[in-house]
Structure 1
Amino acid sequence: MTQPLPLYQVDAFATRAFEGNQACIMPLDAFLPDDVMLAIAAENNVAETAYIVRTGEESWNLRWFTPAVEVPLCGHATLAAAHVLFTHEGFAGETIAFDTVKSGRLTVRKLEDGRLEMDFPSGPITEIPVSDDVAEALGARPVQAWGGMFYAAMFETPEAVRALKPNLKALASLGVPGEGWDRGNFGCFAPGGESVDVTSRFFAPGSGIDEDPATGSWHTMLARVMSERFGKQVLSCFQAYPGRGGRIDTHLQGDRVKLSGHSVTTVEGRFFLPM
């Protein structure tokens, strides 16, 4: 016997299919056991599978799983979850509230131009030295680096970022000094780009993802780095994943950051869970 569960696949931070970052969204009556949710995420085999459970008229509990681990924050799957609720699940309110285990309450509202705007925390950052091990694993030496939620590495030009071919196996064991989920998670960026303020890529072998196409959580840190380094509070950003990529707009406000973008549904169906 099988239990059918609703499933949507969404391209987040995208204006059409085949752009942005893929997420699977599964509205549930209650969370499944952790090992089952992880197994489903591995079966879905996209960057994140998000599970949402309604708790009120405008609120849901939200959890995110890569094919390998549960993560404490995921931007693109949050955007995709809100897109599903607004577009497919009949939510007619103005703002959706998601309660999470490690990132507190996250809200998403619909803007007049059709984008969805997320309100996320943006944690502190610290400038750190670039080690020879990191430079060797990335295949190029950053000009400056910061530690925070992830390892942020700045390069001189967008072309240098696009040309990176890191040693992912080596990168997986490296990160910001100390412990945390930041190990094996590297955001690489440069100011400028084609009609944008900053161009970046995000390598996450430490989270089971070689390279992520469009990463909201990374942009919560990138927004703070760009503010402290260049004095820019509002950014148009492009994550230059080869063949896809995604546009993410950010507005840093104190210890919070607004992240906005479009999403597109590509699949609607059922996941048949063995009973």
Structure 2
Amino acid sequence: MYQVDAFTDVLFKGNSAAVVPLEQWLSDAQMQSIAIENNLSETAFLVREPDGAFHIRWFSPITEIDFCGHATLASAFVLLSQRMATAPLTFRAAAVGDISVAQLDDGLLEMNFPNREPERVDDPPAELSNGLGIVPQAVLKSSQAWFAVYEDEEQVRALTPDLAALKTLAPLDVVITAPGREQDFVSRYFWPANGGDEDPVTGSIYAGLAPYWSGRLGKSSLVALQASRRSGLLYCRVEGERVFVAGRAVQYLQGTIEI
């Protein structure tokens, strides 16, 4: 097992993920137990398929997750740094299909996601505003989360949600976002129903955030800050039906699981 901090090049920043390359699948119960034992946002399990792609599955300490960006970035970093494969890489996931990862000249790893632009919601549930405590300027929705849009970065940083109220919105999570002071936009991500209180950096949600901000700001390339306590930087670009999300990663540990 490898533990990697994703969307950062500094240890103890970004979002931690465990990566477990396998020759064949463990049982679902074993993989969930390992994720609980790791107690990280996600543990990714990989099995190489005959065509060279890597089938990937992601588990939080609570449940299996349909789509996880930071653990995919961490998996690509492990495969390349440990010379288990060469770029470009292809990851195969049941819910999102194939995800390709390219290695850019500046050291960034760039993931190719489907465009999941959220749709505006005119009558959002009261539990959303009650749980956030600050009424957003606009509310949008995707298959993954509610999007609450605020006026400025200060509101996003200051917000202290009622996580019990947000949990009632399951199976959807909640992302809050606003224009950034130094970056194009900032966000924070809460997922009490599916993983924990606040996720440090959530790569998958930028498949929705990047198209929204691209349209609002009128630019296809954007830099984003996830303003959690650990924080993370993401480099996004939108090209039609695809969203490219790039970041760096750094290894924290390598170990052996005994089961």
TM over 0.5: yes
Q: How does 1:229-268 map to 2 (within 5 A)?
A: 229-242=216-229, 244-268=230-254
One of 158, 164, 168 as aligned partner of 2:163: 168
> What is the DSSP-based 3-state SS (H/G/I as helix, E as strand, rest coil) of the residue aligned with 1:252?
strand
Q: TM-score, normalised by structure 1?
A: 0.90
- Once the two structures are superposed, what CA deviation does each residue of 1:55-75 show, in whole Å capped at 9, x if it has no partner? 147421100000011111100
Which residue of 2 is the match for residue 157 of structure 1? 152
2:137 touches 2:151 (CA, 8 Å); kept in 1?
yes
TM-score (norm 2): 0.95
Q: 1:69, 1:53 → 2: CA distance? A: 19
Q: Letter of the aligned partner of 1:155 in structure 2?
A: Y
Kept in 2: contact 1:214–1:246 (CA 8 A): yes
Tell me which amino acid in the other structure corresponds to 1:261.
Answer: G
Deviation at 1:266, TM superposition (A): 0.1
Shift of 1:229: 3.0
Q: 1:225 aligns with which of 199, 203, 212?
A: 212
The answer for unaligned runs of 5 or more in structure 1 is 1-6, 176-180
2-structure distance, mates of 1:141, 1:164: 11
Residue 24 of structure 1: how far off its partner (Å): 0.2
Out of 26, 43, 49, the position equivalent to 2:20 is: 26
Q: Percent identity?
A: 39
After superposition, the C-alpha distances for 1:127-151 in whole angstroms (9 at most, x for unaligned) are 0134432111111111001011311
Q: Deviations over 1:94-149 (max 9, x none)?
A: 30111111110001111001110000112242101344321111111110010113
Q: Secondary structure at the match of 2:67?
A: coil
Matching of residues 132-211 of structure 1 within 5 Å: 132-148=126-142, 149-174=144-169, 181-182=171-172, 185-193=173-181, 195-211=182-198
Alignment partners' CA distance in 2, 1:122 and 1:172: 26
**Corresponding residue SS for 1:206:** coil
| Number of equivalenced pairs | 257
SS at match of 2:177: strand
**What secondary structure sits across from 2:105 in the alignment?**
coil
Deviates more, 1:48-57 or 1:138-147: 48-57
- State the distance in 1 between where 2:70 and 2:117 align: 21
CA distance in 1, matches of 2:178, 2:88: 33
Amino acid at match of 2:248: H
Root-mean-square deviation over aligned CA pairs = 1.3
Q: CA deviation at 1:230?
A: 3.1
AA aligned to 2:250 is V
> Within the alignment, does 1:112 sit opposite 2:105 as a pair?
yes
Superposition deviation, residue 37 in structure 1: 0.6
